[in-house]
């Protein structure tokens, strides 16, 4: 058994990058401590790095030999690639979060042994709402309450981005200017359709496309919608975190005393969930539904700690 891991292409060798930047992470310390050097090496060799990009057709995998191997051997497909910046450039977020999901679906259904596709979405695709929110799919073209437009046309969104980029290039805009315009465009288009930010907006598009492409297929679809993912609770050890995403930067500067206050409703739920709990839920969902009949269309799981009642007032010292 092998785990094929798609990673962004860079100038350096894919395997070399994986060994130097991924396996050297503190995250794998437990594996190296629990097994002798040969055992750890054999275990980690089961993870096969592949250079690619979800924003491109065929996931940007150039070598036909590699594509054929994946189509021949992969039986469970996990799609968690995303940009999580709330104000990401609209062209980037659209390419990764929305079109990337469609490209994953197109690639996955070519796998002759495919049994299941697990898509990691977000609990915030339904936007800002009060009260209980039904755990239901979001349908193609759906907009949210308060939207200034009644239908979301993803193809039109692509055209708007392409036209704006051509316009900026014609004006000889700098990369900094293009980035600013694209970020502003993402927020504008999100709010026009009822979403608060570019991240939630494009993740909603991605889920729409996954569900639309799923129609008539004979494999299972699992959608996992976590809230704000943070450091690990227990596995492989408490407190592991890599990089600064979502609220991580806020915690870092607050913990160092650089940020003495910030605006928030004291009673608002601080809905955080440890990364290992999300992964455990994903693995459990795969195990549970691996024996289901293929006729099962899809299952949606929400990952949240909101019932614990942790709010901003409690989090303050």
The residue-averaged pLDDT of 175-194 equals 98
The residue-averaged pLDDT of 262-273 equals 82
CB atoms within 10 A of CB 142: 17
State yes or no: is 199 an active-site residue. yes
Query: Is residue 114's pLDDT more than 70?
Result: yes
Query: What confidence score (pLDDT) does residue 249 get?
Result: 79
The predicted-structure confidence for 133-168, as pLDDT tens digits, reads as follows 777 889 999 999 889 999 999 999 999 999 999 999
- pLDDT grade for 15, boundaries at 50, 70 and 90: low
Cα–chain center distance at 211? 16
Q: Where are the domains of the chain?
A: 52-243+271-309
Query: Are 241 and 27 contacting, i.e. CB atoms less than 8 angstroms apart?
Result: no
Query: What confidence score (pLDDT) does residue 295 get?
Result: 59
Among 124, 199, 219, 301, the one annotated catalytic: 199
Among 124, 203, 219, 220, the one annotated catalytic: 203
The residue-averaged pLDDT of 113-132 equals 89
Query: Is residue 227's pLDDT more than 70?
Result: yes
The predicted-structure confidence for 26-51, as pLDDT tens digits, reads as follows 777 787 777 777 777 777 788 888 99
Highest mean pLDDT among 19-33, 190-204, 218-232, 240-254: 190-204
**What is the pTM assigned to this prediction?**
0.90
The predicted-structure confidence for 64-109, as pLDDT tens digits, reads as follows 999 999 999 999 999 999 999 999 999 999 999 999 999 999 999 9
Query: What confidence score (pLDDT) does residue 316 get?
Result: 53
Query: What confidence score (pLDDT) does residue 233 get?
Result: 92
Backbone angles phi, psi at 229, to 5 degrees: -80, 130
**Domain 52-243+271-309: which CATH number of 3.40.50.720, 3.40.50.300, 3.30.70.260, 3.40.1280.10:** 3.40.50.720
- pLDDT grade for 209, boundaries at 50, 70 and 90: very high
State yes or no: is 32 an active-site residue. no
Query: Is residue 292's pLDDT more than 80?
Result: no
The angle, 0 to 180 degrees and rounded to 10, between the axes of the packed helices 198-214 and 99-108 is 30
Q: How far apart are CA 30 and CA 21, in angstroms?
A: 17
Mean pLDDT score of the chain, rounded to an integer?
A: 88
The predicted-structure confidence for 52-74, as pLDDT tens digits, reads as follows 999 999 999 999 999 999 999 99
Query: What confidence score (pLDDT) does residue 301 get?
Result: 92
Burial (CB < 10 A; 0-12, 13-18, 19+), residue 161, is buried
The angle, 0 to 180 degrees and rounded to 10, between the axes of the packed helices 154-170 and 198-214 is 130
- pLDDT grade for 268, boundaries at 50, 70 and 90: confident
Q: How far apart are CA 273 and CA 306, in angstroms?
A: 9
Query: What confidence score (pLDDT) does residue 31 get?
Result: 78
Query: What confidence score (pLDDT) does residue 275 get?
Result: 92
Query: What confidence score (pLDDT) does residue 296 get?
Result: 64
CB-facing half-sphere around the CA of 190: CA atoms within 13 A: 29
In order of 29, 33, 104, 249, 256, the CA distances from 259 in angstroms are 32, 37, 40, 11, 8
């Amino acid at each position: 058994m092998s785990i094929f891991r798609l990673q962004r292409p860079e100038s350096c060798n894919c395997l070399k990058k994986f060994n130097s930047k991924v396996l050297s992470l503190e995250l794998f310390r437990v594996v190296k401590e629990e097994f002798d050097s040969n055992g750890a090496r054999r275990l980690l060799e089961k993870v096969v790095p592949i250079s690619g990009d979800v924003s491109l057709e065929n996931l940007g995998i150039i070598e036909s030999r590699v594509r054929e191997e994946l189509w021949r051997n992969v039986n469970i497909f996990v799609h968690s690639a995303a940009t999580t910046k709330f104000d990401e450039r609209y062209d980037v977020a659209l390419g990764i979060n929305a079109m990337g999901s469609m490209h994953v679906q197109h690639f996955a259904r070519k796998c002759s042994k495919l049994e299941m596709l697990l898509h990691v979405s977000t609990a915030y695709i339904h936007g800002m709402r009060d009260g209980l929110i039904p755990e239901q799919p979001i349908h193609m073209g759906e907009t949210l309450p308060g939207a200034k437009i009644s239908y979301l046309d993803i193809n039109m969104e692509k055209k708007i981005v392409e036209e704006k980029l051509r316009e900026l290039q014609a004006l000889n805009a700098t990369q900094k200017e293009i980035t600013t315009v694209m970020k502003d465009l993402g927020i504008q288009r999100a709010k026009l359709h009822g979403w608060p930010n570019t991240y939630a907006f494009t993740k909603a598009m991605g889920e729409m496309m996954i569900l639309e492409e799923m129609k008539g297929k004979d494999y299972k679809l699992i959608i996992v919608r976590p809230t704000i993912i943070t450091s690990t609770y227990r596995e492989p050890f408490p407190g592991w975190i890599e990089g600064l995403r979502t609220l991580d930067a806020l915690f870092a500067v607050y913990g160092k005393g650089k940020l003495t206050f910030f605006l928030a409703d004291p009673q608002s739920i601080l809905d955080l969930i440890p990364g290992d709990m999300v992964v455990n839920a994903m693995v459990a969902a795969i195990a549970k539904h691996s024996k289901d009949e293929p006729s099962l269309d899809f299952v949606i799981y929400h990952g949240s700690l909101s019932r614990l009642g942790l709010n901003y007032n409690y989090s303050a010292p």
